[in-house]
């Protein structure tokens, strides 16, 4: 029988693989640290640039607001209010004149049954430049008017329809009268 004899003070250990793995891990950690430092510096410089850009835009916004308030004060002067009121009046007249009666009648002609008569049409323009037709329609029976309303709602040119009043026939007037409001898609 043979006994291994080791005459050194410390027994032989196989640490080479552990040392190489530790060195490789250290190098990898050092590379990661360098990458993180680089990313941090880059982000810090980008944040500084974004802060500078934001400050520049805020200065521009303050200048624009100051200019706007100066112009608002100038527009509120009594002599300028007359011009503003006149321009509002002229714009509303232009908006009303932009309504095409020919187109209104042509579009209504596509949905109007032959036994329904339109007595009154009042176009109205709202603040969004949308056109609303306020009409009074007449018929000998209610069914044609109901058919007319359903055609209006099914049409691409007309929108939601609302019947605001109804008058039954009298001895002097043998017709049913309906007051109808409908959104109209004519662009002004």
- Domain count along the chain: 2
Q: How far is CA 57 from CA 10, 11, 60, in A?
A: 73, 73, 5
Q: What is the mean pLDDT of the chain?
A: 87
Report if pTM > 0.85: no
> How many C-beta atoms surround the C-beta of residue 138 within 10 A?
20
Model confidence over 35-71: pLDDT tens digits? 999 999 999 999 999 999 999 999 999 999 999 999 8
Co-location of 40 and 105 in the same domain: no
Do 118 and 164 reside in the same domain of the chain?
Answer: yes
pLDDT at 94: 81
Residue 159 burial (C-beta neighbours within 10 Å; 0-12, 13-18, 19+): middle
Q: Does one domain contain both 108 and 167?
A: yes
- Domain span including residue 180: 100-184
pLDDT of residue 125: 78
Which H, E and C letters describe 62-121, residue by residue? HHHHHHHHHHHHHHCCHHHHHHHHHHHHHHHHHHHHCCCHHHHHHHHHHHCCCCEEEEEE
Write down the pLDDT at residue 132: 87
pLDDT tens, residue by residue, 127-149: 777 788 899 999 999 899 989 98
Tell me: do 106 and 177 sit in the same domain.
yes
């Amino acid at each position: 029988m043979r006994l291994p004899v080791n005459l050194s003070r410390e027994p032989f250990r196989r640490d080479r693989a552990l040392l190489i793995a530790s060195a490789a891990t250290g190098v990898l950690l050092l590379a990661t640290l360098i990458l993180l430092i680089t990313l941090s510096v880059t982000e810090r410089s980008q944040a500084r640039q974004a802060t500078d850009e934001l400050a520049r835009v805020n200065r521009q916004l303050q200048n624009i607001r100051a200019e706007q308030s100066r112009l608002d004060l100038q527009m509120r002067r009594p002599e300028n209010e007359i011009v503003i009121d006149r321009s509002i009046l002229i714009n509303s007249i232009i908006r009303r004149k932009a309504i095409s009666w020919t187109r209104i009648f042509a579009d209504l002609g596509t949905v109007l049954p032959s036994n329904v008569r339109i007595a009154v049409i009042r176009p109205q323009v709202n603040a969004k430049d949308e056109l609303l037709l306020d009409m009074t329609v007449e018929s000998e029976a209610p069914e044609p008017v109901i058919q007319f309303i359903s055609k209006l709602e099914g049409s691409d040119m007309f929108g939601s329809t609302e019947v605001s009043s109804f008058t039954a026939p009298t001895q002097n007037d043998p017709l049913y009268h309906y007051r109808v409001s409908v959104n109209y898609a004519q662009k002004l």
